[in-house]
A = this chain, B = another copy of it.
Amino acid sequence: MARPALTREEVLAAAADLVRQHGPQTLTMRKLAAELGTAVTSIYWHVGNRESLLDALVERTIAELGEIRPVGRTPAGRIVSVARALRRRLRDHPHLVAMVHERGLTERMFLPAQQALVHEVHAAGLRGARAADVVRAVQFQVVGHLLVERNHERAPAQHPGEEELWGARTAEEDPALARTLARAIDTEKLFVLSVKALVAGLLTGASDGASDSGSGPGADSGDRTVSRAPYPQ
């Protein structure tokens, strides 16, 4: 009976499965062929090569993302809800997200959320470059947190040195803190906490002036010249 004809869809599905489980590094054309019960070279006829196979998976991930609708009463709350909704969608496919990212397509993946965010930021009364900054900051926050998180899970028990290094200086002074830092991180809780703080800070304009903070010439900012007009035009 040979085989009921190999299709491109079949190849993509099998590849997506392998990637979802073990990441892209472990996906070899030969293993994929074995999984599908065909010759390696058949795959090449359907998808070109390994690189465009992964491209197709990434493209598919982006397409499947769908629209994001904000929820909540306050502008800040609605912005946070967009961040959480996006995160929830991406969290199931951490490897895919990393791949999207590696291909420099983060912006495109982020578009549905961006649409929603712009609307909410406008509702919060911001316009122009300031509004754009908020959108970008949230984008970096969501994606960054996801990337950090992905590899954090891979190293569950952090190296034992930590607790010892902490024990010495901090343990007796603030045992609750030392204990918390030694424990595993609840990434979901940390994310919500961070986004809320970030959004609150952005909307209240806490990040505007060089009001406080060590961003003067004496500070560690030193070499990098960041001194342009904060919001030109």
> Could you tell me if B196 and A201 are in contact, using CB atoms closer than 8 angstroms?
yes
Q: How far is A219 from B87 in the complex, measured between Cα atoms in Å?
A: 14
Indicate whether A77 reaches chain B with its CB closer than 8 angstroms: yes
Q: How far is A149 from B139 in the complex, measured between Cα atoms in Å?
A: 12
Indicate whether A172 reaches chain B with its CB closer than 8 angstroms: no
Please report which residues of chain A, range 181-203, place their CB below 8 angstroms from some CB of chain B when the two chains form the complex. Answer: 181, 185, 188-190, 192-202
Contact with B along A77-109 (1 / 0, CB 8 A): 110110011001000000000000111111110
23 A–B contacts, CB within 8 A, in A order = A71-B214, A71-B220, A72-B213, A72-B219, A81-B220, A81-B221, A85-B220, A88-B222, A105-B155, A114-B181, A118-B174, A122-B174, A128-B177, A132-B180, A133-B190, A144-B148, A189-B226, A192-B226, A194-B207, A196-B207, A200-B200, A200-B207, A201-B204
**Chain B residue with the shortest CB-CB distance to A129:** B180
- Contact residues in B for A197 (Cβ distance below 8 Å): 137, 197-202, 206-207
- Contact residues in B for A200 (Cβ distance below 8 Å): 197, 200-201, 204, 206-207
Q: How far is A118 from B179 in the complex, measured between Cα atoms in Å?
A: 13
> Could you tell me if B128 and A174 are in contact, using CB atoms closer than 8 angstroms?
yes
What count of chain A residues pass the 8 Å CB interface test? 92
Indicate whether A162 reaches chain B with its CB closer than 8 angstroms: yes
Given contacts A143-B144, A193-B133, contact A104 B151 (CB under 8 A): yes
- Contact residues in B for A162 (Cβ distance below 8 Å): 107-108, 111
Given contacts A88-B222, A101-B151, A140-B145, 8 further A-B contacts (CB under 8 A): A72-B212, A72-B219, A73-B212, A140-B149, A143-B144, A192-B226, A194-B207, A201-B204
